Amino acid sequence: MILDRARTPRAKTEPGAPPSRLPTCLRCGLESTRPEATFCRRCGLTYGAPPPELADLPACPICYTEAEPDGRFPSRALPGLRVGLPEHRREHERFPVGDDEWLESLREGDRIRVGRWYAPFEQVRRYLVTGAVEGGHLRRLQHDAVTLAMSQIKRWGTSAEIMGDQPDWRDARAAIAALMERYHRGLLPGR
């Protein structure tokens, strides 16, 4: 990390820019706006200090990965380097998880249009990125074609023969599968 301080600061958004020299909190992931700051204004932890053992670790809102116990993420741009959350997020400009510009274009408020249904945007995006379905209770799931479709695909794949299958379910699975295919199209494997 000492090396980074010697570098000239560059625009935050510049792809391939070296890691930021601004201090980053390893507990909550906040980046200071002042290079000389010594502690995090949000949670009070000293910059550079490891997060307390039982603290919640910062998680990336783009790939949903949680920081490792030292509060950092392995850098994808510079293998071997460990970076804080803000730097990890900036790395997604070079290593996107999917076509978010396109996905955002389908967004309506906090919902997304999937086939002839609407579903919570965050839930669908998380599914596309991680494969995890936060469906909640089965009762709700049965009334929610998109969530049900996502859990069916997760369990049985897109071409599954499902006992008691219904046309609605099939349509919703096809809509989700199409979304998934388009979101990941053109991206290199890995994220």
Q: Which residues bind Zn ion (CB under 5 A)?
A: 25, 27-28, 30, 40, 42-43, 60, 62-63
* 163 secondary structure, DSSP code: T
Written as six digits, the tokens of 84 are: 């804080």
- Shortest Cβ distance from residue 63 to Zn ion (Å)? 3
- Shortest Cβ distance from residue 1 to Zn ion (Å)? 17
Instruction: Decide whether 134 or 165 has the Cβ nearer to Zn ion.
Output: 134
Alpha helix ranges (H) inside the chain: 2-5, 85-91, 100-105, 121-130, 138-142, 145-156, 167-184
Instruction: Decide whether 38 or 142 has the Cβ nearer to Zn ion.
Output: 38
- Residue 78 CB neighbours (<10 A): 13
- Shortest Cβ distance from residue 138 to Zn ion (Å)? 31
- Shortest Cβ distance from residue 190 to Zn ion (Å)? 12
Instruction: Decide whether 27 or 173 has the Cβ nearer to Zn ion.
Output: 27
Instruction: Decide whether 37 or 141 has the Cβ nearer to Zn ion.
Output: 37
What does the radius of gyration of the chain's CA atoms come to, in whole angstroms? 20
* 31 secondary structure, DSSP code: B
